[in-house]
Structures are given as structure tokens and as C-alpha cells.
């Protein structure tokens, strides 16, 4: 399984329980699984996090991190367009700003049964248009998704994992 991380999965981890200074093992664990080809981020999502000004953004700028986590394939414009259509029509510029880079994340998993989107968003099926959440759009296009807590459990993170 290839887990495709949403920006909010890393941002939430960094800002809450897994801050770089509190749990550095978590960040080494991500790089380990990135090198193993199990955890990646499409370029557009990677750029969202890398564009920040905090410690997480600095970590994302590191060449080792980038090599491990950046999905090495171009976005498929047709797949991105197909995902955008699930947000409804017509979409204006403000809608596209609200939606952000999420369609690139979902499109990278679309049509791949061995890929799963990892997002901190929760399903809100009553939302429409640009306000739709990633889990609901994933559901509409047959993309597997999970919450970061499930992802961490699936890949069995624990402190000291790299000592085993």
C-alpha cells in the first residue's frame, strides 16, 4: 500500500502530539517509510507544507526528506480535472482557492487500488461545492482514505521503532 499524505496530516502531527523536538522518532519513521516507497506526497501537497515558515517547513526543505517523501510522478491533468468535477459546477476562482491542492492528492490515488489518502479531515457529507471535505470526494471517486491515527497504527509506529 502506498499512503499519500495530505498536508494537514503532517501539520496536525507537528502542531500536536508529534512535534519535531518532542518525538523526533516519528519524523525518522516517516522518512524510513518514504525511502521504502510506502509514504509519499504529490508535489503540489509537498509544496504546501514546504512553503511554510516553521520548523516543519524547514524539515521539508531538507534533501533527505524531499527524496524520501516526494512522489516522483507528474500530476495527471485529466485525473485532477475529473476530481475537480466532483466539487460541482461552475467553480470560480474563489472556489479553487478554497479547494486548494486537494484535487492533486486525490487524483494521485484515483484508479490505484493500492493507494490510500491519509487526511486529518473528517467526512462532512452535507457540505457542497468548494467546501467538500477530502474523505467525501475520495468516496465519490472510489479512493481509499484514512485518518492519520489509523495510518500510524497500520504502519505500527512506536518510539524506539528504529532500535528494533
Domain ranges of the chain: 2-163
As a whole number of angstroms, the distance between CA 155 and CA 38 comes to 9
pLDDT band for position 161 (50/70/90)?
A: low
How high is the pLDDT of residue 89? 81
Tens digit of each residue's pLDDT (9 = 90 or more) over 31-81:
999 999 999 999 999 999 999 999 999 999 999 999 999 999 999 999 999
Stretch 124-137: mean pLDDT, rounded?
A: 96
How high is the pLDDT of residue 160? 73
Does residue 158 carry a pLDDT above 90? Answer: no
Does residue 16 carry a pLDDT above 80? Answer: yes
As a whole number of angstroms, the distance between CA 143 and CA 112 comes to 8
Does residue 163 carry a pLDDT above 70? Answer: no
Mean pLDDT, rounded, of the chain? 95
How high is the pLDDT of residue 124? 96
Does residue 164 carry a pLDDT above 70? Answer: no
Residue with cell 462532512: 124
Contact criterion met (CB below 8 Å) for 83 and 141: yes
Tens digit of each residue's pLDDT (9 = 90 or more) over 77-122:
999 999 999 998 888 899 999 999 999 999 999 999 999 999 999 9
- Out of 3.10.400.10, 3.40.50.1010, 3.30.70.2740, 1.20.1440.230, select the CATH number for domain 2-163: 3.40.50.1010
**3-class secondary structure per residue, the chain:** CEEEECHHHHHHHHHCCCCCCCCHHHHHHHHHHHHCCCEEECHHHHHHHHCCCCHHHHHHHCHHHHHHHECCCCCCHHHHHHHHHCCCCCCCHHHHHHHCCHHHHHHHHCCCCCEEEECCCCCCCCCCHHHCCHHHHHHHCCCEEECHHHHHHHCCCCCCHHHC
As a whole number of angstroms, the distance between CA 16 and CA 14 comes to 6
Amino acid at each position: 500500500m502506498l499512503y499519500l499524505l495530505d498536508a494537514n496530516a503532517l501539520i496536525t502531527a507537528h502542531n500536536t502530539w508529534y512535534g519535531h523536538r518532542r518525538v523526533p522518532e516519528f519524523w525518522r519513521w516517516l522518512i524510513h517509510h518514504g525511502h521504502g516507497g510506502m509514504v509519499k506526497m504529490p508535489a503540489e501537497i509537498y509544496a504546501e507544507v514546504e512553503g511554510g515558515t516553521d520548523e516543519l517547513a524547514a524539515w521539508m526543505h531538507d534533501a533527505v526528506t524531499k527524496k524520501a517523501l516526494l512522489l516522483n510522478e507528474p500530476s495527471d491533468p485529466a485525473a485532477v480535472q475529473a476530481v475537480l468535477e466532483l466539487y460541482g459546477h461552475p467553480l470560480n476562482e474563489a472556489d479553487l482557492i478554497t479547494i486548494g491542492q486537494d484535487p492533486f492528492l486525490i487524483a494521485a490515488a484515483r484508479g490505484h487500488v493500492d493507494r490510500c489518502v491519509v487526511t486529518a479531515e473528517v467526512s462532512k457529507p452535507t457540505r457542497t461545492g468548494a467546501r467538500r471535505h477530502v474523505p467525501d470526494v475520495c468516496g465519490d471517486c472510489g479512493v481509499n482514505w484514512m485518518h492519520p491515527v489509523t495510518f500510524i497504527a497500520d504502519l505500527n509506529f512506536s518510539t524506539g521503532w528504529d532500535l528494533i
